[in-house]
Structure 1
């Protein structure tokens, strides 16, 4: 019963305790704005090096882009085609670290590219063999050329007409929101103070230098001022808002550095791709990439790459994006999914970095690499990048802090082999239906709570809701059904049907305002086709 072993103590995250700690007078070594992959990665790295750390997030951890990824831990095959060898090497190295440090949430996944023209398999196969060579000992499996029969064995519902064969290669997949939560809890275990639903509302400057920030508790409305030697702006697609505030305070003009790009994902039943292999089309009719990925008992179809000028917290898909994904999926699957088959539609905004001279809107040409800037006042801004390289991004941020003498340098590499809270190989795959295996070594703590045997639906138990409220920072119905469990992303109708019961459990756990009505409206958005 290795799954039930409790490797790490569960950490209470009662709101009152967090706010009292936030109120205490203190000058932190580093204050971080933003609780997505990047901000949480910086918090863990800094706390692991012994710095005093505070992180505030205006909504929930991973509420934005960091819970809306395509769920892939990858080295970036398409970057190889662009000749960006250094980016691929870094990503392959970080892929290995991530899979080792969170084996319950990130695992290898085989991908198959079906070929319908004689030249496709050898053309893409050569590139993937080069991908293997770059991975070296970090490789997850050798690239294989597949016959037609072998391709249909791995992708039993692939379109058979015209199928010549295929190529299989290996990357990884993960549960992004739960990995963000593991980072938050690991950082807290290392001494960091992390508070969600606490917005940064202003910056504090003295003699032209940044010395603190103003924050507002989104639940009570109370405002506080936090002081820190170093402040990191890790707000994702929203980093420019803080950069503008900083520039205004010191009398400098600030040009936007982010050009948001929208990625749409559609979830359908596993019957459309009943396999533990992902399907990858490297070049669709309009030159984009199409994935069909098995994930938590369902199939994710995506994604798009569409310029987006607004920065909505819940961006909406465009109808042409949904039609594109369904149409392309229908070209490569023998059973074509239609609008009635959609279980959930969700959209993420990518914080692509815009070159200073670029005023265009071709997001495919913008940088997927991360960028770190330090302003004249000392505001450290980091944006761009991808989930796979969150750990390397955090190290780079701290290196910039050291280079500008915002922090006294301390040795790095502390997170190379730092296993995250819950880290334990459960023997289950991320492609399996959700369940207790996603908690890793915390499974025993979950099972010890009331309602462990009472299943609400979709693998969610009463005990999981209670654990989310007590130990995983959950405040609202959405926190539980979108990010502690992934039901909103997997089956929005089912999530909606469970919302009232989850709200009742959160109230029992002391949360007076679980925002039930807000969630019901949101669930409808995930269910509704755009006009």
Structure 2
């Protein structure tokens, strides 16, 4: 399919040259995850001048390590958080409409092994449908034993009474983040990865910009902005602390941490363990947690955990008890139990849960999943919490707060409600299911461009060609081997051993394209962390 306009090049030399220009932006955003990129796109769509920097790659942190679900939050409904569920269900539909090449509806089945589970959970899911209203993706259905096994052929048949089928959404998180970045760029925003906020710039005790440092060269660039947004996820307190230290003489109390990180572990196994394109969901495991078995890009994701974590490691490791929990609980619901030897990849993400300012506890289940926007006395805007599904609504809230505090002029909301992201098919043509192995369809209406790149016919692995690597370097901000194998393609998250084996050739291509160090050795070390090593 022909595309409306050629993709915008992302040559790093040009991006840095633009960053070095002496100008004042309307808004500078620190953090290139879902939240920061959502703010960048919304602000650019409203006509503001925008710059965004990230110390690593876009979506390197939490935003590439989700359970890959675009959902209203069934468990939040059980907690009585109706407003959060209603907002998320509305935003779910918006996301599916604006990025159909990266997000699609997905059927789920809750299997019932107790007589009361089908009517009990079914009633909740009918309420879930009612909250969705016209934004619903499909009707909840009560299933008998045979119908449940037809949809979940590998479910444990012993003791199975029936089940409930319902609908939610699924997406490719890292590639959606990239689509947000690239769409913002088409609206004039400047986005630079591998560029950290070394410090804040003040004029008369008010935040008026960011001192940016290119982490590849060490060079620093002062960037002036009328408004600065701290959207660094679980790391927001680091920039908040700098802001507090800079203004410590104004009589304020010390900056109190606002994030309580929670660790989520996901294990990937082969598709055969689920045997279909329907996800399995257990709302309450032995210890009260939720368990998913979700088909994704030709594999199955098992997870997730919800464990307090007190450090902020960029590459956190799974705790042994989390691995055992996922494998043990999976064995209770699947006919063939996955073992450690079956694990293709294991990844960990840190969720930025917003803790009450008087809370010192460690129970993350009771901490808010909603987002919070704070503005310091110096004008630093901080946003954290929330979830991928509601990134767009969060961005609107941030800009509303900026206007309320007179950091930006008020401009109408809604600029992104119907804004198709880069790659979204304009004619509404059918999109390949995200459950299937990765490939060209994830590029949407840019797939013809990718198919004509040099090396497009040379397959490195299923779903990855040399042409895709070159496209990533030229048009998708990719600098390192990790950028390509973890986030432009998702091979590190699908099969860590295979990804490691491809590193040398990917490094060669990147070096040809960018002239920058592709960090092959660093990637191979990283890939080892995604392999499940015997305890």
Gaps of 5+ in 2: none
Q: How big is the shift at 1:530?
A: 6.7
Residue of structure 1 equivalent to 2:147: 150
After TM superposition, the score normalised by the length of structure 2 is 0.98
Decide which moves more: 116-125 or 521-530: 521-530
Partner secondary structure for residue 514 of structure 2: coil
Structure 2 residue 139 is matched with structure 1 residue 135: no
Q: Distance in 2 between matches of 1:227 and 1:376?
A: 18
Residue of structure 1 equivalent to 2:266: 265
After superposition, give the CA deviation of every residue in 1:74-121 in whole Å (9 maximum; x if it has no partner): 001111111111111100000000000000000000000000000000
Q: Distance in 2 between matches of 1:273 and 1:453?
A: 31
Match of 2:74 among 69, 74, 77: 77
Structure 2 residue 482 is matched with structure 1 residue 485: no
Pairs aligned (count):
528
Would the aligned equivalents of 1:305 and 1:364 in 2 still touch at CA under 8 Å? Answer: yes
Match of 2:18 among 7, 15, 21: 21
Q: Distance in 2 between matches of 1:284 and 1:392?
A: 31
Q: How big is the shift at 1:358?
A: 0.3
Residue of structure 1 equivalent to 2:370: 369
After superposition, give the CA deviation of every residue in 1:250-302 in whole Å (9 maximum; x if it has no partner): 11310000000000000000000011100000000000000000000000000
Match of 1:87 among 79, 84, 88: 84
Residue of structure 2 equivalent to 1:162: 159
Partner secondary structure for residue 285 of structure 1: coil
Residue of structure 2 equivalent to 1:503: 507
Match of 2:8 among 11, 14, 24: 11
Q: Distance in 1 between matches of 2:199 and 2:99?
A: 35
After superposition, give the CA deviation of every residue in 1:23-80 in whole Å (9 maximum; x if it has no partner): 0000000000000000000000000000000000000000000000000000011111
Q: Distance in 2 between matches of 1:497 and 1:59?
A: 23
Would the aligned equivalents of 1:269 and 1:298 in 2 still touch at CA under 8 Å? Answer: yes
CA RMSD of aligned residues (A): 0.8
Q: How big is the shift at 1:511?
A: 3.1
Partner secondary structure for residue 76 of structure 2: helix
Q: How big is the shift at 1:426?
A: 4.6
Q: Distance in 1 between matches of 2:104 and 2:4?
A: 20
Partner secondary structure for residue 171 of structure 1: strand
Match of 1:428 among 423, 432, 455: 432
Residue of structure 2 equivalent to 1:113: 110
Would the aligned equivalents of 1:240 and 1:258 in 2 still touch at CA under 8 Å? Answer: yes
Q: Distance in 2 between matches of 1:104 and 1:362?
A: 37
Structure 2 residue 288 is matched with structure 1 residue 287: yes
Q: How big is the shift at 1:132?
A: 0.5
Q: Distance in 2 between matches of 1:35 and 1:426?
A: 30
Q: How big is the shift at 1:512?
A: 2.8
Would the aligned equivalents of 2:479 and 2:516 in 1 still touch at CA under 8 Å? Answer: no
Q: How big is the shift at 1:422?
A: 0.1
Match of 2:460 among 456, 461, 464: 456
Residue of structure 2 equivalent to 1:44: 41
Residue of structure 2 equivalent to 1:317: 318
Gaps of 5+ in 1: none
Decide which moves more: 337-346 or 449-458: 449-458
Match of 1:517 among 518, 521, 535: 521
Q: How big is the shift at 1:220?
A: 1.1
Q: How big is the shift at 1:529?
A: 2.9
Structure 2 residue 242 is matched with structure 1 residue 245: yes
Q: Distance in 2 between matches of 1:530 and 1:226?
A: 48
Residue of structure 2 equivalent to 1:255: 256
Give matches, 1:49-448, under 5 Å: 49-251=46-248, 252=252, 253-424=254-425, 425-448=429-452
After TM superposition, the score normalised by the length of structure 1 is 0.99
Partner secondary structure for residue 37 of structure 2: helix
Q: Distance in 2 between matches of 1:126 and 1:69?
A: 27
After superposition, give the CA deviation of every residue in 1:189-230 in whole Å (9 maximum; x if it has no partner): 000000000000101112111111111001111011111000
Q: Distance in 1 between matches of 2:430 and 2:60?
A: 26
Q: Distance in 2 between matches of 1:426 and 1:309?
A: 44
Q: Distance in 1 between matches of 2:311 and 2:352?
A: 12
Would the aligned equivalents of 1:265 and 1:302 in 2 still touch at CA under 8 Å? Answer: yes
After superposition, give the CA deviation of every residue in 1:363-388 in whole Å (9 maximum; x if it has no partner): 11100000000000000000000000
Q: Distance in 2 between matches of 1:358 and 1:93?
A: 31
